[in-house]
Amino acid sequence: MKKAHVIVDSAYVIGEIDSRIYGSFIEHIGRAVYGGIFDPGNELSDEEGFRTDVLSLTRDLRVPIVRYPGGNFVSGYNWEDGIGPLSSRPKVPDLAWLAIETNQIGVDEFVDWARKAGTEVLMAVNLGSRGGEAAKNLLEYCNFPKGTYWSDLRIQNGHSEPHAIKTWCLGNEMDGPWQIGGKTPQEYGRIACEVAKVMKWLDPTIELVACGSSNSGMPTFPQWEATVLEAAYEHVDYISMHQYYGNNENDIRNYLAKTVDMENFIQTVVATCDHVKGLKRSKKTVNICFDEWNVWYHSFPENARLKPWQEAPKFNEDIYNFEDALFVGLALITLIRHADRVKIACLAQLVNVIAPILTYKDGVIKQTIFYPYLHASTYGRGTALNCIIDSPRYDTKEFSNVNLLDCVVVSNDFEGMVTIFAVNRDADEGMDVTVSLGGFGEFSVVEHIVLANPDLKACNDEADPNRVAPSRLDVGRVEGGNLSVFFPSLSWNVVRLLVGKS
Ligand code: AHR
């Protein structure tokens, strides 16, 4: 049996967790909007056509913010097509995904959905095929109280109160050659700066996200971030990060080590932000909005066979297995560990398209990745604490010296709870772990939730929706400030402690 020792103390503060790191994303793509959140005529939908089962799971997940309407889609989107009477909204070709967009859901309906789901909107503007004028008009439509052309049109369309959208993305993946209206960093930096200025003049309360690189493998990374921030630093609040992973080579040891890449990616973007801060002698810190992350690779072969120009086709519907849930757990640990700089993150996406929730006609499935996301969003609020992890290590074909045990600790003073999130990456055996917890006085274990499964490829489906689901494990032993607990081979663990600070 392998052993590991974790030392954590109430003084090892990384930072307050911004609950928006548990955000998600809904794009006009595949069945995310149509057939996902919106399914008029279905018995499970409410009077506005919203799927009540999806709303209810979104509320269960306590999703604090949802990015909308894209993604690549936004770079060709005319937001005006999605407002006003439904019968006069045009059907248009969506050139990002070669599909037909019916515009039956637009900004007003999405804000209504978000209110019902108990979440905020992270709105993206089109800086691909359009520019500052359209972005300014959308902001005016959403946030200006009344008495101007666009704000009065919103009122006429049935929304007397402003949508009050606080955070806005200045385009999407503008470094990507696949993007409608892709740009060089110089072109994008200049446009982002000018659009940001105007948007903040119109509504000084908003926060803005500049596009970072589409992924860490882009040839222009991280010079893209440096150039864009040199142009727009004083006008933006966040730089975006996007990254998807997969077990393409079917090597569990290497797959679970890929969060080391995510870790390095975050560290490089933080360093680049601070480099520009130094160049500018600025007092302000630009933080990270990791607004697309997930596992994405299962659906690629099926996508290649898709016929273009369909309305809401089945597209990018990755069916997640148990090993993907472990990866998502590790990614959540990585995000929490960077709570000092990662202030927003979006699991991409929420429903059907690379999502924790899948809809079918008569119900929903909680995919395997639903569970670590649920646990982190439920119990991972408060202060992120650093852990000193003394664990056996391993090498993979891409990474060396990787901890078999990865973990992070969150302390919630308000609830008097401390939660340990941990993944045992060891494919061979379980691990006896000793956690030395300082600064919290006496503590006891409330529960030990575990996600483990003998079959790495096990999925949840209509026939067996609970094949991969969490269970409770022995809570371990507490003795003299030390917790002894067992983490099974290849498992996601959530250990919840009741603390009485003394
Ligand atoms: O989330 C799916 C797509 O991935 C988004 O539209 C795009 O931004 C990214 O490449």
Confidence of residue 476 (pLDDT cuts 50, 70, 90): confident
User: pLDDT value at position 176?
Assistant: 97
For the cut 90, the answer to whether the pLDDT of residue 88 exceeds it is yes
Measured in angstroms, how far is the CA atom of residue 223 from the centroid of ligand 1? 21
**Which residue is closest in CA terms to ligand 1's atom 7?**
71
User: pLDDT value at position 425?
Assistant: 98
| Strand partners of residue 207 | 167
User: pLDDT value at position 501?
Assistant: 61
For the cut 70, the answer to whether the pLDDT of residue 46 exceeds it is yes
CA-29 nearest atom, ligand 1: 6
For residues 389-412, average pLDDT = 97
- Return the CATH fold of 2-10+385-499: Immunoglobulin-like (2.60.40)
Q: Which two tokens stand for residue 281?
A: 């002698």
Provide the H-helix boundaries in 287-442. 300-304, 322-337, 370-379
Calculate what percentage of the chain has a pLDDT beyond 70.
100
Measured in angstroms, how far is the CA atom of residue 323 from the centroid of ligand 1? 22
Place of tokens 């909107």: 121
Q: Is the CB of 72 inside a 6 Å radius of any atom of ligand 1?
A: yes
Name 158's Cβ contacts closer than 8 Å, sequence gap at least 6: 108
**Which residue is closest in CA terms to ligand 1's atom 4?**
71
> Alpha-carbon distance 209 to 273, whole Å?
13
For residues 212-219, average pLDDT = 98
Calculate what percentage of the chain has a pLDDT beyond 90.
97
Q: Is the CB of 348 inside a 6 Å radius of any atom of ligand 1?
A: yes
For residues 44-57, average pLDDT = 98
Q: Is the CB of 172 inside a 6 Å radius of any atom of ligand 1?
A: yes
> Alpha-carbon distance 59 to 150, whole Å?
31
User: pLDDT value at position 500?
Assistant: 84
Matching fold, domains 2-10+385-499 and 26-252+283-379: no
User: pLDDT value at position 373?
Assistant: 98
Confidence of residue 1 (pLDDT cuts 50, 70, 90): confident
Q: Is the CB of 173 inside a 6 Å radius of any atom of ligand 1?
A: yes
**Which residue is closest in CA terms to ligand 1's atom 3?**
71
Domain ranges of the chain: 2-10+385-499, 26-252+283-379
Q: Is the CB of 70 inside a 6 Å radius of any atom of ligand 1?
A: yes
Confidence of residue 502 (pLDDT cuts 50, 70, 90): low
CATH superfamily of this structure's domain 26-252+283-379: Glycosidases (3.20.20.80)
> Angle, to 10 degrees, between the axis of helix 132-143 and the axis of helix 149-156?
50
For the cut 90, the answer to whether the pLDDT of residue 480 exceeds it is no
> Alpha-carbon distance 201 to 191, whole Å?
15
User: pLDDT value at position 284?
Assistant: 97
Q: Is the CB of 292 inside a 6 Å radius of any atom of ligand 1?
A: yes
Sign, Cα dihedral of 457, 450, 293, 66: positive
For residues 402-427, average pLDDT = 97
In a mutational test of the pocket of ligand 1, which residue from 170, 242, 291, 350 has the highest number of ligand atoms less than 8 Å from its CB? Answer: 242
pLDDT tens, residue by residue, 323-361 = 999 999 999 999 999 999 999 999 999 999 999 999 999
For the cut 90, the answer to whether the pLDDT of residue 238 exceeds it is yes
Q: 340 vs 285, 337, 384, 399, 421, CA distance in Å?
A: 11, 8, 8, 25, 18
Contact 172, 180 (CB under 8 A): no
> Alpha-carbon distance 245 to 234, whole Å?
32
Name 396's Cβ contacts closer than 8 Å, sequence gap at least 6: 251, 253, 254, 257, 402
Mean pLDDT of the chain: 97
Confidence of residue 406 (pLDDT cuts 50, 70, 90): very high
Place of tokens 């859901």: 105
User: pLDDT value at position 245?
Assistant: 98
Sign, Cα dihedral of 274, 277, 282, 284: negative
pLDDT tens, residue by residue, 179-206 = 999 999 999 999 999 999 999 999 999 9
Measured in angstroms, how far is the CA atom of residue 395 from the centroid of ligand 1? 31
Measured in angstroms, how far is the CA atom of residue 367 from the centroid of ligand 1? 20
User: pLDDT value at position 24?
Assistant: 98
For the cut 90, the answer to whether the pLDDT of residue 450 exceeds it is yes
> Alpha-carbon distance 499 to 32, whole Å?
41
For the cut 70, the answer to whether the pLDDT of residue 295 exceeds it is yes
